Amino acid sequence: MTDNKKIILTGDRPTGPLHLGHYVGSLQNRIKLQNEYNQYIIIADVQALTDYFDNPEKVRKNVIEIAFDYLAVGLDPNVNTIFIQSLIPEIAELTIYFLNLVTVSRLERNPTVKDEIKQKGFERSLPAGFFVYPVSQAADIAIFKANLVPVGEDQLPMIEQANEIIRKFNSTYKTDILVEAKPLISEVSRLPGIDGKAKMSKSLGNAIYLSDSEEEVAKKVMSMYTDPNHIRAEEPGNIEGNTVFTYLDAFGKDKEAIRKMKDQYRVGGLGDVKVKKYLNEVLEELLGPIREKRKEFSKDPAEVMNILKRGTKIAKENAEKTMSEVRREIKLDYF
């Protein structure tokens, strides 16, 4: 990879295996762009500990589970730098310096964090680490001088806040060493959970995982939320808010067939079971090959950890270069 390519920073928190929401949210973009850009893919175990601090075994176990998912969907370790966040101490160091550049009131206004705090029911028991994790994300981006970050629409406030911190650093220390990042929005900004009530989420238990068996996927699809008033197949049904059709729009390749199904569903004569069976076929076409590749990678976890070790070494070398520049600008380059 050449040095003049744009740098992408992307990644996930190892709180569980990846699901279809991750796939449409950023994995597709990562796969498309991996041969065009220098792409750093972070397994953010430190950030995972901000709300799983009392269950470090879960975080550790899921580091390799996420690596299996990355490799299974087609992310090539020969052209991507896949690394573990906690093994790059420079990120934590930069986070500390960034904390001096952002106020508590500004962090409180971050709508993404506000939603997550409410979802997790933290209220006044909010861990300080979780509260400031947008600052850690800013450090993730800045330390690799990433200028492109694939995100869902709900993550735009995180990029905005990261850029604010980067601008504040550059203006405070009269430098231009850190680079602002542009968001790359996925075509499907938010995929609802199978219950239709919120976005697909590990914590809400409403996700279809890339690692789910064929039987698990079929069971989840058949339980999916549709139109609660569509009792009989011959009756007209609503497409809007119907999770099955939302998934067909996201994953179905035959757009004309889906359009005809929608038309028939609206006027009556099409039952939920038939639509769900079609969706199950669509998802199995996607997930079947991923599942098989995942099984192959999981047979040799030591080699997968070696891939992470090699990626972490490359990431650390680049992080060290940036931190050397940062320390110089803030007058901490003593020796």
324: number of Cβ within 10 Å: 11
Contacts of 222 (CB under 8 A, 6+ apart): 273, 276, 280
Q: What is the pLDDT of residue 2?
A: 39
The amino acid that residue 31 corresponds to is I
**pLDDT (tens digit per residue) in 205-233:** 899 999 999 999 999 999 999 999 898 89
Q: How far is CA 17 from CA 31, 74, 115, 142, 308, in A?
A: 18, 16, 22, 26, 16
Q: Which residue, 189, 196, 184, is CA-closest to 141?
A: 184
* Overall fold of domain 7-191+301-329: Rossmann fold (3.40.50)
pLDDT of 51 above 60 = yes
Decide which of 1.10.240.10, 2.60.40.420, 1.10.1040.10, 3.30.300.30 is the CATH code for 214-294: 1.10.240.10
Q: Give pairs for 23-28: CB < 8 Å, separation 24+.
A: 23/73, 23/210, 24/186, 24/187, 24/188, 24/191, 24/250, 24/251, 25/151, 25/152, 25/186, 25/188, 25/189, 25/190, 25/191, 26/150, 26/151, 26/152, 26/186, 27/73, 27/75, 28/186, 28/187
**pLDDT (tens digit per residue) in 271-288:** 999 999 999 999 999 999
| pTM given for the model | 0.90
At residue 66, φ and ψ (nearest 5 deg) are: -65, -35
Domain ranges of the chain: 7-191+301-329, 214-294
301: number of Cβ within 10 Å: 13
Q: What is the pLDDT of residue 317?
A: 97
| Assigned token pair, 257 | 């067939």
Q: Please tell me the distance from the alpha carbon of residue 56 to that of residue 61, in angstroms, as a whole number.
A: 9
**pLDDT (tens digit per residue) in 175-207:** 999 999 999 887 776 789 999 877 787 777 899
